[in-house]
Amino acid sequence: MQRVLVTGAAGFIGSHACEAFAAAGYDTVGVDNFDPYYDRRIKQTNVAAIEAAGAHFREADIRDAEATASLFDVTKPDVIVHLAAKAGVRNSEKFPAEYVRTNVNGTQSVLDAARRNDVERVVMASTSSVYGSASAIPFQEDDPAAAPLQPYAASKRAAEILAGTYCSLYGLQVTVTRLFTVYGPRGRPDMMPYMLARSCRDGTAVPLFDGPLERDWTYVGDIVNGLVQAAEHPLGFEILNLGRGEPVALAEFIDEMAAAAGTPPVLEARERPATELLTTFADSTRARDRIGFNPTVSVHEGVERFWDWFATTA
């Protein structure tokens, strides 16, 4: 049985990833530092879920290089799924140094520990935000992604480049997965699906930027299946888009949420900031060809699943 170490395990995607790897037969260990970006109690609930699925959990901070090295010495993972990151696009404009420290320096700590422990391969989460507004549509992995619009995206692009260097210099096998607008149960409170659901239930106002905005909404279950597939296909250094490949207008997504909830959200018109992309659209051909990535959950079905979770849990 191979051991996989999942960083960011107490978060939205990380907790689902731990469950998916445990279900796939991996000896799964999750690690998280409970970053205070949102309520620790939410993350503790996520940890309870991954432990119930058979995964183990350790609290540690990847920004601490010595602690990360010690973690690897103790857990001795075969595979790393590196999801830990400082999240929040707009928050990164206020605190850019924190994003560099976690998303770049923290990633370096993980890569250093991986190469020193002869880890077989690393799967690393990046973001569709790296493409910026200058990229051709649909987004393809060979785009230079040289003009991210916010510190968050810039820090993730820097981490990608660093991973490529570790591959060429040290022989570390790294697959970077660029994730597209992930949503689903356990979604963060600052994300649009959660805010819309809360508005439908409680009547709280949700800021709505002018557009029209389109997003390549991708259900979390499809994403974590892609992460497992990436872990099982060593590719040297590779970048893969993980997205459904079917952009849906934000207005249509809002209608789906209103239908699931039985009541519309309260929307508050706002001017779109320069850091907000109009469209995200994944060309996932490379991921389909190289790891068998095949998203199956429609936005209609995904929103219904999200609402069912929110209505009974959040």
Through-space distance between the first and last CA atoms of the chain, rounded to whole angstroms: 35
Q: Identify whether 26 is a catalytic site residue.
A: no
Q: Tokens at residue 179, please?
A: 């994730």
**Strand boundaries in the chain, DSSP class E:** 3-7, 27-32, 56-59, 79-82, 121-127, 174-179, 182-183, 205-209, 214-215, 218-219, 237-242, 248-249, 266-270
Q: Rounded to an integer, what distance in angstroms lies between the CA atom of residue 130 and that of residue 36?
A: 24
Q: Is 239 exposed, middle or buried (0-12, 13-18, 19+ CB in 10 A)?
A: buried
The answer to whether 249 touches 151, Cβ cutoff 8 Å, is no
Name the catalytic one among 26, 131, 152, 219.
152
H helix count then E strand count, the chain: 12, 13
- Tell me the sheet residues that pair with 207: 268
Which residues participate in catalysis according to the annotation?
152
